[in-house]
Amino acid sequence: MSIYEIGKKIATREAYGNALAEFGGDERIVVLDADLSKSTKTANFIKKYPERFFNCGIAEGNMISVAAGLAATGKIPFASSFAMFAAGRAFEPIRNSIGYPHLNVKIGATHAGITVGEDGATHQCNEDLALMRVIPGMVVINPADATEARAAVKAAIDYKGPVYLRFGRLGVPVIYDTDTYKFEIGKGNMISDGNDVTLVGTGIMVAQVIEAAKILKAEGINARVINIATIKPIDKDILVKAAKETGAIVTAEEHNVIGGLGSAVCEALAEEKPVPVLKVGVNDTFGKSGKAEDLLEVYGLTAKDIAEKAKKAIAMKNC
């Protein structure tokens, strides 16, 4: 079992590879990659189960449809590449070969968002949550830390149907205790309670949201912190409850502000409990090269940015 020390920085892609190796004893599991096994960390699976790993070369569309054929004959394939080339390049094969027949394929997409860093805009996928969310029946999971990434892989294996798993390249602090954390597809997780405003984070932004709550606390504002790892199906109950009890929401995602977590939260609340929702994310622009941590500042994805938006959201409650 992989044990992750709380507070230690580790990339969720690393936990993905570790989890494939940890749970890969199930003979139905087959892992595919598109020439990026050392980066996606499927290499961790290869070390243990080389006979059930198949490199597909730089041909993501074929890899996705091959996975569909494997699933149609009883396997549980994990198909991996960078988010850009999995969700982006192979969108239509995912939609038609996997989504339409609702096949039991898991897509492990790493290097999501701008924290890919130095490689720049062509490799920084800020659109994958939007693309995967619109496919009927697709489960979309964006884990916050290594512990949750591990648990999400296990949950994806146990769930029968297509799952898109989003992982990052940048090391992020471990939030959850590996021994006690219970992950459930479709359930949000309240990390801390508060009644002035709710901060909803997903993926690597959960760590930033937790820091933002600390900044607000110092200013006398009690923020509720919620982690939404499952973007679809989204946990409407936890969001509606937060809207009712805190009256204002800020979402934070390493993704375009169009189509991802922020949009999903607005959709969930608009029909039941509309409250101000302010979005922190990549503001409908392409990324650029730079160090991952620097880019978070450049694109306004820090705890400070979230705290400022929270104050604006609180002010809007009384408008």
Partner 1 sequence: MQQARIKELQKIANNIRMGALEGIYTANSGHPGGSLSIADIMSYLFFEKMNIDPKNPAWEDRDRFVLSKGHTAPALYSTLAHRGYFSTELLKTFRNKESILQGHPDMKGVPGVDMSTGSLGLGISTACGMALSGKISGKNYKVYSIMGDGEQEEGQVWEAAMFAAHYKLNNLVAFVDFNGLQIDGDITKVMNPTPLDEKYKAFGWNVIVINGHDFNEIENAVNASDSSDKPTVIISKCIKGKGVSFMENDAGWHGSAPNKEQYEQAIAELTAANENL
Count of residues that interact with partner 1, criterion CB under 8 A: 29
- 77 contacts partner 1 (rule: CB under 8 A): yes
* Angstrom distance (rounded) from CA 157 to CA 146: 17
Quick one: which segment of 56-64, 171-179, 272-280, 304-312 binds partner 1 (CB under 8 A)? 56-64
- 220 contacts partner 1 (rule: CB under 8 A): no
- 100 contacts partner 1 (rule: CB under 8 A): yes
Q: Which one of residues 11, 31, 46, 70 is an interface residue with partner 1 (CB under 8 A)?
A: 70
Quick one: which segment of 99-107, 158-166, 215-223, 252-260 binds partner 1 (CB under 8 A)? 99-107
* Interior/surface letters 48-76, b for 16+ CB within 10 angstroms, e for the rest: ebeebbeebeeebbebbbbbbebbeeebb
Q: Which one of residues 2, 43, 75, 193 is an interface residue with partner 1 (CB under 8 A)?
A: 75
Q: To the nearest whole angstrom, how small is the minimum distance from the Cβ of residue 73 to partner 1?
A: 4
- DSSP three-state, residue 30: strand
- 68 contacts partner 1 (rule: CB under 8 A): yes
Is 92 catalytic? The answer is: no
What are the distances in angstroms from CA 166 to CA 11, 26, 125, 228, 307? 12, 22, 11, 13, 25
Q: Among residues 60, 127, 254, 308, which one is catalytic?
A: 60
Q: What are phi and psi for residue 161, nearest 5 degrees?
A: 150, 175
What is the number of other CB atoms lying within 10 angstroms of the CB of residue 241?
Answer: 17
Task: Name the residue type at position 195.
Answer: N
Q: Which one of residues 72, 190, 298, 316 is an interface residue with partner 1 (CB under 8 A)?
A: 72
Can you give the binding site for partner 1, defined by CB under 8 A? 30, 51-52, 54, 56-57, 59, 61-62, 64-75, 77, 92-93, 96-97, 100-102
- Residues annotated as part of the active site: 60
